[in-house]
Structure 1
């Protein structure tokens, strides 16, 4: 009897140990192939397996049979079916919910889930590191970058970058010390000036470089920064937390991109990382493993296979460019070339998305014709226009990243219009400080709505915009001088779009409105700007007193309320009206329509005004709340 019990315990222990080894093999980072930006982590803790979506958001998974598990407490039920190869290694898992199945590839065995950590914002406060990143101190204003030459070797297996940046500059004011930027995770090997190493110190992500002498105003100089490291990866649970996306395509080949708007280009290469200073031109030399291509900004200058079979490409940008727009896109790409007049068009896609890519690319020419008609000529003619399939969408100058091309066509079209609009609104006319981010996203979202209107009609465009409700938790304008990007920023899209739409509605003259947009593109061509530059320009060009309007919608979170008081006097309607829930001295005309009559604009202010409407009853008066972002309240007496 004792022998039988001992034997049972032995075999039970062996079974549990084998089970433990099997479940331990499931640990690792997985990509959600339907949206390859999204990562899942399986982790063993306290004798259980846990599914993590983000570092702290975890849910236990319950064994069913074999390699199949159920995610606890989810309805409809979600099951995870782990896939194991002949050597017992987990290669992926199949996620099933409600009859739908999504493949996940296992990216790595490690449990290093991207984690943004503490985010600086109005609520959490700002730090010395934020000031070093966002402020134009004398150590940054003393020089102006004229040219970068970035050389980088990309090693997907190790998630490692190594290379250098040559920085050429013009001296704005005398200096012997300057600041460049490179994230602390990235090591500096040396900084070389005229063949000799320069001393430097680091504080957070700022690098202070000392030169042997003083540069005089107007003097030119150059130095080279050698570096290597594992760049930050984006935590997609945090708004605008950028980094390298190390992913796999459907054939399990590396599919890699960098997206660093907000976090800044210094997360992966050394530069003067402030939006106000764009180089006049830039060269990028990028080396990737055998069997992959890299597509970057500008024109391809040369391409060669190195003795070790790696592929090298060199790209040249001949226009000023935002640092965050500088990019690498690495994958097993297919290519199509075309032209629109003298503008070259290039498209890059993954082989398994050919059909959806072809359908989308057919709409590029009419889209570009529309944007050139309404905004002015394409800004980067020498560098051409290209679309590329990537893990994540992003408006990288002259090589617009589309994200995956496996989605629905209408959503892809809308995304294409938005990201392409940034070639004008963001890349040609660019902000000096990320606090003015709405100038990029508000105008791009409005362009997106113009595309919906073109294909689906204005009612559908207004319906889609109405579904994009602003949160109104923070002002549209962020905090200056601290790179304030990690806040409730989504209002820069939907509310920013409504601001542009209201300018058009107030002007009530489409020819003048689009002439205004073309004027902004021409008069601020290849420049960095502030909100004041653009709003001041709009006020001057239109001759309208719009400063209270901009102050209300950009600096205040309240939605203006139009208060109305009706009184019927025979056939006439006597209407009293004023604004409430606004800043002091707010004023804005709002359109009202009466059947059979010309549109009426109520010149409302914070004080009551009265108007008599002939042959009108209350139900005939229709306030234009579709084009004006307001609320309406009927008062008594």
Structure 2
């Protein structure tokens, strides 16, 4: 991302837990214990759910205006083409404990019913928590290590969520549709799930929209079929993806499909108002991917591209998997930043939101590397500029003081300085880039923490870098640098 929610309230968490415990004790319930109502993330403790690991989401969504839906509110303008959503989420998961009940994160939408292994399940709600209580007929499928399938039917007008830093995410309505952005909690605005970055899964997303709108999501376009003036787009993401990286853009787009010389499938969708100003930069995607692969290792996905909205439809760019979303025509530096996230953040995903600097520090450093290779700006000069910027010293990048700070300047600029200080400590560019490529290979399609990273660097270099971590990653003050 190039800029920067809300945690569940303690009252909501207590109510959710109480309902789950009550359900576990009901006659006919499944033996076991309820899954936790949150994963105790340092900044969003109510985000995510315990007791299971999602392996696949299959979402079938029907998008329309309030005028299309007999349940829609008559107070909504009838010309908002993506104001209503009706969905069926099929969630395949593996139990990590014997479950009597489990939770899903979902904000705002109305739940019409749920099944587990094809049998009706009780559904309770506490704020953004759905508590699913299966019947005893499926208890064997909820034993630890077993795989089970949950189907949730839901509908409503998806919410726009305001983050702790004041930015908007979730379901953002645009002039001709909507765009769904999920970092850090916005994906719960349009589908139920285990919405913490530590639980990655594959996806099939089928979206039906009225013509002439287009629906663009992650991964590859598998099929497209039109019937009675409505078109269904089927998108598939075959590599694991954290839910905050899932996106859906609905609107009038100019689309292009092609492939890079090494076979990566490209799909771009551009709002007509942004098309002319975006063309030259988007034509550079194959070159940026090839350059990035030299620096960071093989591209970790089979498809790439971009979604470009019109200026003002969103407040920031976001590294949604395979094809980042841009709030208007991007420049090359922003394209480099968001495509670098495909390695740092999307393939190697943080274990918690405290590890954001691993995403943003490396993506910012990618900008510095590109400027050195293409614009004649030495990396040292970019480092010096960041070092002199007082905003980068507001707090240590590995310890933002609150959820409102996880996308502030130190996470980006000082995060990139940490990467450069590692390069200087190694004092061998070939060894440094081998280290970076090894990191993306070791944790490809997985999760990693700051502790994982520092341990990896020290193991690979054979150096004790405690002083570097203390000064640059965790230090409260600006450390001196040699002239």
Change in 2 beyond 3 A, CA 1:146/1:541:
same
Matched-pair contact (CA < 8 Å) for 2:270–2:307: yes
Change in 2 beyond 3 A, CA 1:360/1:227:
same
Give the unaligned 5+ runs of structure 2. 15-36, 66-79
Residue 487 of structure 1: aligned partner: 405
Structure-to-structure mapping, 1:546-585, within 5 angstroms: 546-560=465-479, 562=480
The offset of 1:370, in angstroms, is 1.1
Name the CA distance, whole Å, in 1 between partners of 2:231 and 2:252. 12
- SS state at 1:380 partner: coil
The offset of 1:241, in angstroms, is 4.2
Residue from 113, 120, 123 that aligns with 1:197: 120
Tell me, yes or no, if structure 1 residue 274 matches structure 2 residue 196: yes
Matched-pair contact (CA < 8 Å) for 1:385–1:398: yes
Change in 2 beyond 3 A, CA 1:291/1:201:
same
The offset of 1:421, in angstroms, is 0.5
Matched-pair contact (CA < 8 Å) for 2:300–2:343: yes
Residue 244 of structure 1: aligned partner: 171
Matched-pair contact (CA < 8 Å) for 2:386–2:392: no
Name the CA distance, whole Å, in 2 between partners of 1:468 and 1:414. 19
Change in 2 beyond 3 A, CA 1:526/1:403:
same
Change in 2 beyond 3 A, CA 1:222/1:387:
same
Structure with greater helix percent: 2
Residue 222 of structure 1: aligned partner: 149
Tell me, yes or no, if structure 1 residue 159 matches structure 2 residue 80: no
- SS state at 2:391 partner: coil
Residue 209 of structure 1: aligned partner: 132
Structure-to-structure mapping, 1:184-583, within 5 angstroms: 185-213=108-136, 214=139, 215-235=142-162, 238-239=165-166, 241-248=168-175, 254-279=176-201, 281-307=202-228, 309-340=229-260, 341-381=262-302, 384-390=303-309, 391-392=313-314, 393-405=317-329, 412-459=331-378, 461-462=382-383, 465=386, 469-478=390-399, 485-487=403-405, 489-490=407-408, 491-560=410-479, 562=480
Matched-pair contact (CA < 8 Å) for 1:239–1:487: no
Name the CA distance, whole Å, in 1 between partners of 2:11 and 2:248. 30
Residue 70 of structure 2: aligned partner: none
The offset of 1:352, in angstroms, is 3.4
Query: Normalization by structure 1: what TM-score?
Result: 0.62
Name the CA distance, whole Å, in 1 between partners of 2:13 and 2:166. 16
Name the CA distance, whole Å, in 1 between partners of 2:88 and 2:214. 20
Tell me, yes or no, if structure 1 residue 144 matches structure 2 residue 68: no
State the superposition RMSD in angstroms: 2.8
The offset of 1:464, in angstroms, is 5.5
Name the CA distance, whole Å, in 2 between partners of 1:133 and 1:231. 22
Query: Normalization by structure 2: what TM-score?
Result: 0.81
Aligned residues: 426
Change in 2 beyond 3 A, CA 1:335/1:169:
same
Residue deviations 1:316-373 (CA, integer Å, cap 9, x gap): 1111001011111122211223322222222222233333222112322221111100
- SS state at 2:369 partner: helix
Change in 2 beyond 3 A, CA 1:186/1:547:
farther
- SS state at 2:196 partner: coil
The offset of 1:436, in angstroms, is 0.9
Name the CA distance, whole Å, in 1 between partners of 2:219 and 2:258. 16
Name the CA distance, whole Å, in 2 between partners of 1:238 and 1:525. 30
- SS state at 1:336 partner: strand
Name the CA distance, whole Å, in 2 between partners of 1:240 and 1:130. 24
- SS state at 2:258 partner: strand
- SS state at 1:318 partner: strand
Matched-pair contact (CA < 8 Å) for 2:59–2:206: yes
Structure with greater strand percent: 1
Matched-pair contact (CA < 8 Å) for 1:149–1:165: yes
Matched-pair contact (CA < 8 Å) for 1:285–1:315: yes
Change in 2 beyond 3 A, CA 1:294/1:467:
farther
Larger displacement relative to structure 2 (198-207 or 352-361): 352-361
Matched-pair contact (CA < 8 Å) for 1:303–1:314: yes
The offset of 1:295, in angstroms, is 0.9
Residue deviations 1:424-469 (CA, integer Å, cap 9, x gap): 0001100111111111111111111212222222356446545754
Change in 2 beyond 3 A, CA 1:235/1:210:
closer
Name the CA distance, whole Å, in 2 between partners of 1:233 and 1:468. 33
Name the CA distance, whole Å, in 1 between partners of 2:166 and 2:411. 13
Structure-to-structure mapping, 1:103-122, within 5 angstroms: none
Matched-pair contact (CA < 8 Å) for 2:351–2:448: yes
- Which structure is higher in RCO with an 8 Å CA cutoff and minimum separation 6? 2
